Amino acid sequence: MISADRKYSADSPPLSVNSCKSKEYHEIKLTIKTNQTDQRLDSYLARQIGNLSRSRIRKLMDEGLVTLDGKIVKPSYLVSMNEEVVLRLPGPEPSPLTPEDIPLDVRYEDEYLIVVNKPAGMVVHPAHGHPSGTLVNALLYHCQDLAGIGGEYRPGLVHRIDKDTSGLLVVAKEERTLAGLAKQFKKKTTERIYNAIAWGDVQPPQGRIDAPLGRMKRDRKLFDVVKGGKEAATRYRVLERFKLFSLLELQLETGRTHQIRIHLKHAGHPILGDPQYGGRNRRLGPLTTAQRNFVAEIFEILPRQALHAGILGFIHPKTGETLRFESEYPEDMRQVMEKLRTENR
């Protein structure tokens, strides 16, 4: 807890607001120590208070929780030497979601962020039809050091992967880290590599799929390649060829919903097992009876899309360290690939 009587200056290290589920207000007092005459108050406070983003600072100012020499001022106010700032910070509101003791495959964790390897079948965030059993429910239980996001006690989701896609996700524990990661994702400086088993003999052996995406008119829950849609680009490389399928490495240039799944369908090579984008039955027609039986056996092993988020790389927003994680293929994909290799012989 931050003492209401303690004062801070620009010579002090950045403040770190401890997590607290209480609705009590914690007072932070700062004395402005800067010779710069063009510093906005919101920018100055964001640099001085370690885990509050600039947008969060502005929201607190709009709510009248920040005063300068006893007066409420705008975020654009230009600070001067020796002015006194008082910020009344409310503790994070309790999350309406229920923490659940669900096992997590944690690949990295510190006080700022956590990297998890999500299993297929787990929804990332509660939604209609999935009120519990999600990654967020598990993180609320696992992470006892959440500092709050936007005034609420919750983890900060930077990106998501589909329920039936397995693989790596990074989640922020506090606002500044969330903002730093989100900036990297927006600027496309992160490394995100997926692996997929796609129908057919994908040619050429490497390339780029550039096709804009938007919602389908007939089903607003699904997406498709549409004229005037949002820019979307995916790079691919063939890693291995089988009689009916290709194992691909795919790198996202953009991160649209269902992007890889739609792009591969658009290219004529939907992902094996994808129930929404042509991967389960669309291509069974031309197969022989023996091939159809073989594919049916594969579906028994892998009753989902064969898509895995295998590599995730980014720069740690707090430490500046380059972090890179690799996740092995899940068991169902490993079994299918072994079966495909056996059939190739």
Residues identified as active-site: 162
Residue 184 phi, psi dihedral angles, 5° rounding: -65, -40
Crossing angle between the packed helical segments 289-301 and 331-344, to the nearest 10 degrees: 160
Q: Are 309 and 166 in contact (CB under 8 A)?
A: yes
Residue 36 phi, psi dihedral angles, 5° rounding: -75, 130
DSSP state for residue 35 in the 8-state scheme: -
Whose tokens are 């006080």? That residue is 111
SS3 43: helix
Q: Is 162 exposed, middle or buried (0-12, 13-18, 19+ CB in 10 A)?
A: buried
What stretch of H or E contains 59?
A: helix 54-62
Is the torsion defined by CA of 190, 194, 199, 204 positive or negative?
A: positive
State the Cα–Cα distance between residues 100 and 97, nearest whole angstrom: 9
Q: Are 212 and 226 in contact (CB under 8 A)?
A: yes
Crossing angle between the packed helical segments 41-48 and 54-62, to the nearest 10 degrees: 120
